[in-house]
A and B are shown apart, each in its own frame.
Chain A
Amino acid sequence: MFNQYCTKAMHKNVLIPLVWVYLFFLSPQLFSQKVNEFPKKTDPLHKKVAMFNELMLGNHWNEGAIMQHVIFPPAGLDRPIIGSQADCLDPTSEMLAAYSHKYAITKNPKDRKIANEIFQAILKLEKVTGVEGLVARSFNQTNEPLWHEEVFWYHEWHQSTSMPGYRWLGDLSADKFTSIFYGVGTFWELCADAAYKEKAAALLDRFIGRVVDNNFKLTDLDGKMTLWGNFCPNLPHQELNSLEMLAALKVTHHITGKERYNAAYHMLIDRYHYDDHQINSKILFPKEWRNVGDDYHAARSLYMLMRLEDDPNLLNKYRMNLNRHWYDWRDIEFTWESNIWFLMVYKVLTGEDIFTEEKEQGIKDMWGFDRNTREFKIPQKDGSIKLVKAEEERTAAAMIRNYWFGRYYGIIDEKW
């Protein structure tokens, strides 16, 4: 609630918000911080995960959506002061998957309740746009533009007409498209009760159905294709996007049972050869073009797709794609938490025992984030820029998802 007040004030008086910004950014010791306990790097894995989980739920929770970047301190606030939001669907889907895997192990209703709340936030990301099947990248409860809208990402913020008092970020990308079918698909598979299964299937039906209806394009409010929303057979697009679209259609057909998604899947294969096109999702050469960020979307797509496909010819082609990734992954350094997940996915999909002692140690050493301090350029009403130094937190959602994914598949020992 504070940042709402802060934002409104920012537009009424130049000086008042600066006082608040200073109070919050420069004097955090004045306030009790909501979650402020960090694990030590030497702590056992399960303790690190539990503590980062508290940090994520306590400091990054925005009505169920998980914020990728919060500016500290939240100081006991109901909602965090948010930084960049373009990729919030990544941690949101990771936490949804994490709690789905966790619930599959614990069967604890509290875990299912949290998963349900995160899923509801994805529904809200659709509702806030006012257009059936159009999902926002993120939202904020506010009546006026927040300061960071002018600083981070493209100018794609809209005032919601369907949810008064909210603003939302548009121009969804293929990456976030993948987050949605991966997160919602995993939730449907492992965690949702009958009522939530129905809601999850209906959401994917609307979301993927809208993309299919628009000739396999993510289109925004203006009717134009989004900057990264191209899966269209009539337009040139990345090989990775062919893979993502096949995976999305497979998952949606699986959980809705609607034949149109199966028909679309086979149309893209039979008429447009997406099954061949997707094989080269991984660019291996020139070496400097290798992109582990794209690998993450491929890994999520292959994980969902290969477990549902039973045609041996198609499975062979998906395996060829996986093999191209493995060429890079087999020696990959664990520079970020998703690297570790690639190997887990590879093991789950192939059954190959690829975890050496060194790689297992990499899993045990997983880490979420460090709290950093940096300077933010805060735009002022008069057009000037104010530099404000503040603490910030990135996300630990991938690490938490990795842990429960590994636990679910027996890769991670609960005693680690």
Chain B
Amino acid sequence: MKTFLSLLSLLAHSLLVVAQEGPTPPEGMVYVPAGEFIMGSTYGDPDERPRQIASTKAFFIDKYEVSNEEFARFDPSFKFPPEKKNNAVIVTWSQADAYAKWAGKRLPTEKEWEKAARGTDGRVFPWGNTYDNTYVVWDQKETRGASIAKPASPYGCYDMAGSVWEWTSDWYKPYPGNTVPMEQYGEKYKVMRGGSNFNNHSFIRTSHRYYVLPEKIHVYPVGIRCVKDID
């Protein structure tokens, strides 16, 4: 009886794990289950507040940022040095949006991006709460996923801290309950996430937000990571 109960328990646990793993993601994507997660922070910039419980539907998200070579399949006129074919592409928001649509995907909302980066436990970085240089692709010369250690987020995404910034679909607006005025709020700037190889360590925190003009990125290196809805 004891053995039977143990086996039953194991079976139930296995079924639960399978259920949590969800549907098989398309190639190059990972699955993020529906549900609540901790969004925002109490210690970052004023626009990260208030820290809140947010929720998303289940979705798939790209494991890696889109590369130069992948983007060139969408836009054959896009040129890049051959040795950088596997580096993250740097594009404007409309280019990113067009690429996502062409790929049958879309750009993530801020909520989706943040959940994919930090999971449910409110961690500071995709790998946890302690910073380490070796976890980050700091050098634009490096290809995607080339950090020395612990590169993946809780759901298996690479380079969500550092490498290039990543476009979201959202305009830069205050979170509900945020009362700190910002003249940049509205529908002029899009939000980019994840920091890049050219900013201080705090910018690669999972809750950090930064605003940029969608079509004038200047020298901000902003790239693409797409999501796909689950039917």
Contact = CB atoms under 8 A, between A and B. Distances in A.
Given A224-B45, A236-B201, A236-B205, 11 more contacts: A154-B218, A223-B180, A224-B210, A227-B200, A228-B199, A229-B200, A235-B205, A236-B124, A237-B201, A237-B202, A241-B200
A225 B216 contact: no
B199 A224 contact: no
Secondary structure call for the A interface: loop
B41 to A, nearest CB: 10
Interface residues of A, number: 22
Interface of B: 43-47, 124, 131, 133, 180, 182-184, 198-203, 205, 210, 213, 216, 218-220
Contact of B46 (A153, A224, A236): A224
A127 B95 CA distance: 40
B201 A155 contact: no
A228 B198 CA distance: 9
Contacts of A229: 200
A342 to B, nearest CB: 23
A205 to B, nearest CB: 25
Contacts of A241: 200
Nearest to A237: B201
A238 B203 contact: no
A246 B183 CA distance: 33
Contacts of A228: 199-200
A213 interface: no
Interface in A201-258: 222-225, 227-230, 232, 234-238, 241
A283 interface: yes
Contacts of B199: 227-228
Contact of B202 (A155, A222, A235, A289): A235
A232 B124 CA distance: 15
B201 A230 contact: yes
Given A155-B213, A222-B184, A223-B182, A232 B202 contact: yes
Among all A-B residue pairs, the 4 with the closest Cβ atoms: A236-B131, A230-B200, A235-B202, A227-B199
9 contacts: A155-B213, A223-B180, A225-B45, A225-B200, A227-B198, A228-B199, A230-B201, A235-B205, A283-B133
B220 to A, nearest CB: 7
Given A154-B218, A225-B45, A238 B200 contact: yes
A155 B216 contact: yes
Interface in A123-162: 150, 153-155
A358 to B, nearest CB: 33
Interface string A20-31: 000000000000
Interface of A: 150, 153-155, 174, 222-225, 227-230, 232, 234-238, 241, 283, 289
A223 B46 CA distance: 8
B183 A222 contact: yes
A230 B124 CA distance: 16
A94 B47 CA distance: 37
A289 B220 CA distance: 22
A223 B219 CA distance: 21
Given A223-B45, A236-B201, A154 B182 contact: no
A179 B50 CA distance: 35
Contacts of B131: 236
Nearest to A215: B43
Nearest to B148: A286
Contacts of A225: 45, 200, 202
B133 A289 contact: yes
B43 to A, nearest CB: 5
A333 to B, nearest CB: 22
Contacts of B205: 235-236
Given A223-B182, A283-B133, A289-B133, A230 B202 contact: yes
A189 B141 CA distance: 43
Contacts of B220: 154
A225 B48 CA distance: 12
A4 to B, nearest CB: 23
A235 B43 contact: yes
Contacts of A222: 182-184
B45 A155 contact: no
Contacts of B201: 230, 235-238
A236 B162 CA distance: 14
Contacts of A153: 218-219
A235 B199 CA distance: 14
Contacts of A238: 200-201
Contacts of B184: 222
B180 to A, nearest CB: 7
A150 B216 CA distance: 9
Contacts of A155: 213, 216, 218
A236 B219 CA distance: 24
Contacts of B213: 155
Given A222-B183, A223-B180, A154 B200 contact: no
A212 to B, nearest CB: 17
A280 B205 CA distance: 22
A366 to B, nearest CB: 30
Nearest to A218: B200
A366 B12 CA distance: 75
Which of B198, B202, B203, B219 counts the most A-chain CB atoms under 10 A from its CB? Answer: B202
A234 B42 CA distance: 10
B25 to A, nearest CB: 31
Nearest to B138: A289
A238 B133 CA distance: 10
Which of A150, A155, A237 counts the most B-chain CB atoms under 10 A from its CB? Answer: A155
Nearest to A150: B218
Nearest to A153: B219
Nearest to A152: B219
A89 B220 CA distance: 22
A161 B39 CA distance: 37
Given A153-B219, A224-B45, A237 B200 contact: yes
